[in-house]
């Protein structure tokens, strides 16, 4: 977004990240780069090929020539990445781009697709910080395990059956991983010679195989989406695939699967709010 606002090729790029973002992004594979990992190439590709309107799929149009352009940008050593130490936000990304005559700034905070601040040549285009502070005062729903269980068991299926998509998307990532070589290959190790669900020796090994395979694909930067939970793709995988695989191996009805997936997702959110 900062590069789009700049309107010219940046000569200097400054990136400031919260500790959590910095930690989580350091070892993740970048889609379409043939195994390149980490923040520098992610930032470079965002500059040369990123499209902010794609939100979480910002690099989906990235091509091999774009990757080469990104590598060339890295060679210029014009990208500086550091921790933003004076923020209390868990999710905070600040990028400042400087060109020959222009300067732009874009800040994402609180949510992965939420731009809280935009500026061009000193002119503030958006500043949502004051409204966000007001939002923080708004009381949310206080979760508890009994409330979560009651919601999962009693809510009409038509209102929660959308959750099946999370399982389907994450299963597709696992299947892709089984067919290729991604990450540490832990999913394929657990799968061994098993050709389908019925050939696994037990439920646990099967659940581990699919969950690890999906994580392998995600962490290696495979060109396939995963459904996240609380901002984490791996948490989304862990909340869905063990439940899905157990249900399929034990021939559970779709209603039971839907309610179990809701229960699993909300339990992860409940635990996450205390971390």
Domain boundary among 76, 102, 136: 136
Q: Is the pLDDT of residue 186 over 90?
A: yes
Q: Are residues 10 and 130 in the same domain?
A: yes
> Is 265 within 8 Å of 229 (Cβ atoms)?
yes
Mean pLDDT computed over every residue of the chain: 91
Give the whole-angstrom CA distance, residue 154 versus residue 33: 45
pLDDT tens digit sequence for 196-208? 888 999 999 999 9
Q: Among 116, 136, 156, where does a domain finish?
A: 136
Q: What is the pLDDT of residue 130?
A: 57
With a CB cutoff of 8 Å and minimum separation 6, the contacts of 213 are 173, 174, 175, 177, 178, 182, 186, 187, 188, 190, 191
Shared domain check, 266 and 173: yes
**Domain coverage including residue 87:** 2-136
pLDDT tens-digit series, residues 231-246: 788 999 999 999 999 9
Q: Are residues 51 and 151 in the same domain?
A: no
154 and 268 together in one domain? yes
Q: Are 202 and 240 contained in the same domain?
A: yes
Claim to verify: residue 63 and residue 160 sit in the same structural domain = no
- Containing 125, the helix (H) or strand (E) segment is strand 123-127
Region 163-176: what's the mean pLDDT? 96
Same domain, 196 and 113: no
Clarify whether residues 116 and 15 are in a common domain.
yes
161 and 126 both lie in a single domain: no
Question: How many domains, in total, are found in the chain?
Answer: 2
Residues 166, 121: one domain?
no
pTM for this model (two decimals) = 0.76
Is there a single domain that holds both residue 222 and residue 193?
yes
Are residues 201 and 236 both part of a single domain? yes
pLDDT band at 70 (very low <50, low <70, confident <90, very high): very high
pLDDT the model gives residue 139: 55
Residue 188 has pLDDT above 60, yes or no: yes
* Domain final position from 101, 136, 171: 136
């Amino acid at each position: 977004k900062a590069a789009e606002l700049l309107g010219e090729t940046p000569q200097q790029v400054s990136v400031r990240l919260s500790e959590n973002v910095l930690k989580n992004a350091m070892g993740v594979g970048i889609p379409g780069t043939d195994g390149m990992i980490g923040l520098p190439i992610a930032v470079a590709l965002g500059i040369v090929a990123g499209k902010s309107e794609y939100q979480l799929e910002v690099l989906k149009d990235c091509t091999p020539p774009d990757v080469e352009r990104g590598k060339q940008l890295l060679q210029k050593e014009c990208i500086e990445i550091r921790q933003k130490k004076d923020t209390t936000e868990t999710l905070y990304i600040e990028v400042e781009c400087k060109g020959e005559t222009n300067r732009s700034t874009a800040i994402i905070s609180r949510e992965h697709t939420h731009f809280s601040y935009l500026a061009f040549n000193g002119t503030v285009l958006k500043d949502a910080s004051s409204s966000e502070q007001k939002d923080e005062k708004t009381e949310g729903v206080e979760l508890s395990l009994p409330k979560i269980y009651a919601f999962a068991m009693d809510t009409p299926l038509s209102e929660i059956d959308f959750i099946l998509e999370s399982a389907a998307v994450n299963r597709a990532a696992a299947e892709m991983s089984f067919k290729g070589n991604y990450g540490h290959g832990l999913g394929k190790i657990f799968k061994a010679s098993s050709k389908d669900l019925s050939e696994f020796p037990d439920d646990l090994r099967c659940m581990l195989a699919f969950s690890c395979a999906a994580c392998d694909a995600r962490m290696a930067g495979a060109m396939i989406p995963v459904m996240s939970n609380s901002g984490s793709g791996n948490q989304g995988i862990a909340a869905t695939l063990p439940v899905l695989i157990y249900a399929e191996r034990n021939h559970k009805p779709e209603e039971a699967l839907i309610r179990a997936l809701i229960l699993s997702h909300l339990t992860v959110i409940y635990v996450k709010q205390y971390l």
